[in-house]
Amino acid sequence: MSLQQEIIKRLGVKPQIDADDEIRRRVDFLKSYVRDAGATGLLIAISGGIDSAVAAGLCKLATDELSAESGKEYMTLGVFQPYGTQEDIHDSYAVAKAFDLKHVVETNIEDAVTEIVLEVEHGFKTLGTPRHISRGGKGNVKARTRMVVQYALAFDYNLIVVGTDHASEAITGFYTKWGDGAVDVTPLSSLNKRQVRQLAARLGVPDSVLYKAPTAGLWEGQTDENELGISYEDNSDYLEGKEIVPAVREKLEKHYLRTEHKRAPIPGI
């Protein structure tokens, strides 16, 4: 078995999908998890990107069906988490409007991140290496601060925190896991980026979100494809078992092998 075949099998990606079937499977998965956990609903951070938009659509379908079936209200809480001024936050609100989310909240993380960065830089000074935190380090602080806020909200509302991780992120280790904050469930995990787009189109994600460049929002101008040096088209082709340019294949597989710790369970002894 080739490394490509091993990766596809491990991540569970299909060579092609039926969008309606995949939506149904993932909505049922979310409903089952909420019931089993005795939770009152789902929390999804809506960044304004396509992944969180699709997850939000699935969450809303799941909680609407749970409410109709049980006779009690289950909620999908949409959380917007800008750092200072977010130029595309209107896309987050457009997603919430498209799926008729009744429960939304905006939590700006800038002040919290600033305080954490100041404490880290104080630590550097104490250690005899005074300097500013790195761009990547601050980007990770932003991601983790967002997760702290999500779990604080989820705890008091008894909600399940939903992640947006999918196979095209998992193969490169470019996704939320353990040190980045973790999540409770990942309903997109066996889809590649192309397949996420298929679900987005079927669910009715706004066009402004559907066609925008994917970004984790770690710093101004950051995009996934520029940071990784691999297009999502090549990434998706690879995960569907197709042949791609050898140099790109090599780079993708190097990302995979180097980031095993991101996919593995927390080790112990």
Q: Where are the alpha helices (DSSP H) in the chain?
A: 3-11, 19-37, 50-70, 89-98, 110-126, 135-157, 167-170, 193-203, 207-210, 224-228, 232-239, 246-258, 260-263
Torsion of CA 214, 217, 220, 226, to 10 degrees: -40
DSSP assignment of 28-43 equals HHHHHHHHHHT-SEEE
Which residue in this structure is represented by tokens 């994917």?
A: 214
Count Cβ atoms within 10 A of the Cβ of residue 107 and give its class: 0-12 exposed, 13-18 middle, 19 or more buried: middle
Q: Which residue has the tokens 């936050």?
A: 89
Q: Establish whether 169 is a catalytic residue.
A: yes
Residue 222, number of CB atoms within 10 A of its CB: 15
3-state SS assignment for residue 235 = helix
Q: What is the DSSP string of 94-128?
A: HHHHHTT-SEEEE---HHHHHHHHHHHHHHHHHTT
Answer yes or no: 65 catalytic: no
Q: Kindly give, in sequence order, each residue whose CB lies less than 8 Å from that of residue 149, ignoring residues fewer than 6 positions away.
A: 79, 81, 107, 109, 112
Question: Among the options 22, 51, 184, 237, which is catalytic?
Answer: 51
Contact residues for 216 (Cβ-Cβ < 8 A; gap 6+): 139, 143, 174, 222, 224
The residue from 22, 91, 165, 169 that is catalytic is: 169
- Just list the catalytic residues: 51, 169
